[in-house]
Each structure stands twice: as structure tokens, then as C-alpha cells.
Structure 1
Amino acid sequence: MPYARIRFRLIAAICAFLVATPIAAQEGGLPQPPDKLPKIQRGQDIEFLFGALKAAPDAETAKAVEGRIWSLWMISPSDTANLLMTRVRTAVGVKNLDLAVTLLDSIVMLRPDYVEAWNRRATINYMRKDYGPALEDIQQVLAREPRHFGALVGLGLIMQELGEDKRALEVYRKAIEINPHLPRIPDLIKSLGEKVEGRDI
């Protein structure tokens, strides 16, 4: 199947999913968890944290709440998956992206419910400009956690790379609705809005 057709089908599938799904820092341009994440227990209520993120009165408060959300995303119920993820971070740190992807392949096979493994693999594929696999992984992330603002920003960036500015604008608006304190995104929304919808008169 030609690449253009594959690309179109991936874009159509992901965008259709986003439209149908209710919506109640940076490595390679994508939001990433802070270097030092707060310690947090698996029982922390993520619904409460997302509410606190939207209501945060300033960027400092939002950053603290965001760190707690990232902490929850980074924790897997599997000690093996957690160990492999530390090796992924080491591999990325020394720019051995092939090894990082191989490790992530193992993690998603072991724990397909581990959202951050899919997201991290999407990030690495984005860094390698391997957009087809990156889109597929982002679809897996959003199927499990539609509020994953990191994955939404990644999807927006890929849409821009593929010349899908209108789709990128839609995705960025979803991301900023979830996390109003995302850096760079308001500026991207403004510039893309002017480009796609025209300037206000």
C-alpha cells in the first residue's frame, strides 16, 4: 500500500477517534516528565489531579500538579516493566534510540496497559521522524488515556509536519483544554488559527 494512503488512513483514524472521545520540558519537542518526579502512591486519584491542573491559578502550581500526573503515568504495576523503562531512559540518554525502541517493544508486549511505554515509543519514533509508527503509538496512548496532553501535543506536531494544519489546531486546542499551562501551545494555536481560520477583523 502506498505511503500516502497509509498516512491518510492513520490521520483519519486518529482524528476520528479524537472527535468521538470526550475530554472531561521537552525532548524532541514533546512534553516529557520532569527529571525529578515526586513520589506518589498508585492509589492517588488522577481525576482529582486533572481537575486541579485545570484549576491551577498559576504556572508554578500547574507544574507541581503536572509532575504528580506524570508520576502516575510513569508507574507500572510490573516491576519488570519499571526496570526496563529505566533502561530505556539510559539508552535515550546515550542516544541509542534503536536499543530504546527494542526495550519498549518488550515493555508493550509485557504490559500493553502501560500507557507511558506507548507514549515513550511514540516520542522516540517522532525524534527519528518515523511518523507512521509514532502515530500508531499515539493512537494506543489516547485509547487508554484520552487526556494525555503529552501525546496530544506530539500528535499536533506530527500533523504540522505532515501539512495537516487544521488537524494540528484541533489537537492543540484539546491539549490546552486539559492542561492550560502547556508551554508554547498557546502561541502555536494563535499562529495556526490565523493561518487556518484567518485573522480577526
Structure 2
Amino acid sequence: MRWKRSGSDVLATTRRLAAATLVAGGFLACAALSASPAAAQDTDWVEPPASVPKAPRGDPTRNLDMLFGALKAAPDDTTAKAVEDRIWAVWLASGSDTVNLLMARTKAAIDKDDRVLAIRLLDAIVEIRPQYVEGWNRRATVFFLQKDYASALADLRQVLRREPRHFGALVGLGTIMQEIGDETNALAAYRRALEVNPRLKGMADKVRTLADKVDGRPI
């Protein structure tokens, strides 16, 4: 059951979830979150590629460990993008025909801007396959598009508990931190995303710009 809450209650809940999500991601830049929301910042959200290679066989955890090692060592953007696509392939592999069908229907619903249906489908996915990180990540994206930041953060927390290196979720977390006016923790999330994916498109520039604002502030 959903009920209406005041704007201050929603913001307070969002801040609490943001703190919990930062902890789930393995870091927390500061104990207290910003006291007031800021105007909307850039809302870049890392999406999986339109097509991905076939997921490699074998243990997904071992495959991801190897791929993330290769991602850090990538000598150029082209190589990094190829490795990144293979990481997405592992994350997107649900191991369930039912989940695959529901994900396809979710994409169709999102393409038609039917977010209510998309969330219903994603609700079913996370219930069927709670360990499937892309179910949570995709639902977080839809909640973000609806500006339901508390729900988006709750889902990002689930993603990062299962896969702390999920650079898409880390960028999403940073984006929401900026939206609610917490640039310090936004920077922490972006830096973590850049740490696991050093060639993440546009992220180095974003970190530099935000660091100038955050690190340059007087104490």
C-alpha cells in the first residue's frame, strides 16, 4: 500500500536510503547528507549496449573477476568498450527463459513510455530471480525516470550489495546524489565508478568538474 507523504518526509527517506546505498557500495564519503536539494544536474545514466556478445561459459563470478581485471588494464577506449560489453553480457544473462521474456517485455514497455507496466514486469523479475542484478538495476532506472529517488536508491542498494563493481549502478547513485544536492557523495560514487571502469565514457571529465567544486570548497 502506498500513501502520501510530505516533501520533507520523502527527502529524509531518500537521504537515509542514500546513506545505506553508499555503504552497500563499499564507501561513504561523509556521515551526513546535504541539507537541501539542488537544482537538477546532468542526468547521465549508464545503460547496457543495444547488443552484447554471448555471455562466456563457466562461473559468472570468475568470469567477471577476469573481465574487470582486463577492463582496468585496457590500453585504449576500443579495447575497454569491448571488455565492458562482455561484462554487460554476464550481467544480462539471467539463466531463465521466463526472465528473458519479461525483460524483453520491459524494454518494449519502456520504449512506449509505459513505466507503470515496466515496473510491474520488473517486480515479477526481482521476485523470480532476486540475485539477477539487472532486474534491480533496470527497475532503479525506471524509478529514476519517474523521479522516485527513494525507490531508485533502494534498488541500487540491492544491485551494489550483489555486485559492488556495477559501474552503471554507481553512476546512477552519483546522479541521484547530485539531484538531491549531495555533491560530496556524488563525487565519491563517480570516483568509485571510474576506479572499476577507468575508461567509462565521460566520467573522468565529470569527476574533474565536480572535484573542482567539492574539493575546492573552503573548510
Paired letter, 1:158: I
Is the aligned partner of 1:174 residue 2:192?
yes
Cross-structure match for 1:68: 86
- RMSD (Å), alpha carbons: 1.7
Select which of 44, 51, 58 maps to 1:36. Answer: 51
Q: Is the 8 A contact 2:24 2:164 kept in 1?
A: no
Select which of 148, 154, 177 maps to 1:159. Answer: 177
Structure 1: how far apart are the matches of 2:115 and 2:161? 25
5 Å-filtered alignment, 1:8-19, equals 8-19=15-26
Q: Is the 8 A contact 1:53 1:65 kept in 2?
A: yes
Q: Report the TM-score, using the length of structure 2 for normalisation.
A: 0.84
Structure 2: how far apart are the matches of 1:192 and 1:47? 29
5 Å-filtered alignment, 1:97-112, equals 97-112=115-130
Query: Normalized per residue, which structure has more helix?
Result: 1
Is the aligned partner of 1:195 residue 2:210?
no
Cross-structure match for 1:147: 165
The alpha carbon displacement at 1:20 in A equals 5.4
Q: Structure 1 vs Structure 2: percent identity of aligned residues? A: 52
1:98-154, Cα deviation, whole Å (9 max, x unpaired): 111110000001110110000000011111111010000000000000000000000
Q: Is the 8 A contact 2:52 2:88 kept in 1?
A: yes
Q: Is the 8 A contact 1:159 1:168 kept in 2?
A: yes
Structure 1: how far apart are the matches of 2:54 and 2:15? 41
Which of the pair has the greater relative contact order for Cα pairs under 8 Å at 6+ separation?
2
Is the aligned partner of 1:91 residue 2:109?
yes
Q: Report the TM-score, using the length of structure 1 for normalisation.
A: 0.91
Give the aligned length: 193
Unaligned 5+ runs, structure 1: 22-27
The alpha carbon displacement at 1:79 in A equals 1.4
Paired letter, 2:93: I
Distance 1:115 1:42, change over 3 A: farther
